[in-house]
Amino acid sequence: MLQARDIMTSPVETVGPEARIDAVIGLMVAGRVSGVPVVTKTGAIAGIVTEGDLLHRIETGTEQGSKRKHTHFLELLMGGGEEITHYIRSHSRRVSDIMTEVVVTVTGDTPLPEVIRLMEQHRIRRVPVEQGGRLIGIVSRSDLVAALGRRLAAIEPPGATSDAEIEARIHAALDAAPWFAQSNVDLRVDAGIATLEGVIHDERLRTAIRVAVETVPGVISVEDKVVFVEPMTGSIYAP
């Protein structure tokens, strides 16, 4: 199973807590990335600056609470802490003032499914990878896409295979799918072309069966002659 270290980007462009946000923006634009880790002098992760941290800025007039941008400074001091925080994040040009301090991280041996689960759970686009308290890489959604591309490219084209062998592979693939039992579909293979015939009562099965057949090595194309019978009315729909 793939692990974080297998697909992570390394080395990683980083900035220190004392850096100016100009430096972060420069790295984002030049590297076409949406987030830059913030690390200490020892390489420990102190935070991360993402596009989301730069959305509400005084320079672009998008700061939160912009309707009250002329509020007296004394009101800021006397008001709630949230308004003070908004002021700091929209005005400061120091990375340490605007970065996200709570960072979801993984280690190099974290399985890829767990990395994806964390991304989905926390609704984030990238996960820093650390080992021994130091940043060693980062896994982004683009890294996941690149890994998929490499896996697809690594699949070798099938050698010469008989129609009988291809047909046997298709049957094995379909029999392994629990949803295939809901259909009544037969198939035959001639010169690498798989012809499907039979009846289904769920139109989604048509696509699922086609996908399963197309991914079998040796299949050149799929000819769909499956008939859909609407289970409630008995209406018949041919492809």
The two domains 4-152 and 163-237 share their CATH topology (first three levels equal) = no
- The DSSP call for residue 32 is T
pLDDT for residue 65: 58
Residues whose CB falls within 8 Å of the CB of residue 146, separated by 6 or more in sequence, listed in order: 7
End-to-end CA distance of the chain: 39
**CA gap 47, 42 in Å, rounded:** 14
Q: Can you identify the CATH homologous superfamily of domain 4-152?
A: CBS-domain (3.10.580.10)
More confident residue, 232 or 186: 186
Indicate yes or no: pTM above 0.95: no
CB contact at 8 A, 127 and 103: no
CA dihedral 54, 60, 63, 65 (to 10 degrees): -170
| Topology of the domain comprising 163-237 | Histidine-containing Protein; Chain: A; (3.30.1340)
Long-range contacts, 35-43 (Cβ 8 Å, 24+)? 35/125, 35/126, 35/140, 37/12, 37/103, 37/128, 37/135, 37/138, 38/14, 38/95, 38/96, 38/99, 39/14, 39/15, 39/135, 40/16, 41/16, 42/133, 42/134, 43/133, 43/134, 43/135
pLDDT band at 77 (very low <50, low <70, confident <90, very high): low
Tokens linked to 202: 């769920």
Q: pLDDT digits over 168-205, tens only?
A: 999 999 999 999 999 999 999 999 999 999 999 999 99
β-bridge mates for residue 187, sequence order: 196
Tokens linked to 140: 């982004």
**Single-letter code of the amino acid located at 116:** I
Q: Given a cut of 50, is residue 206 above it in pLDDT?
A: yes
Least confident span in 51-55, 136-140, 186-190, 231-235 = 231-235
Domain definitions of the chain by residue range: 4-152, 163-237
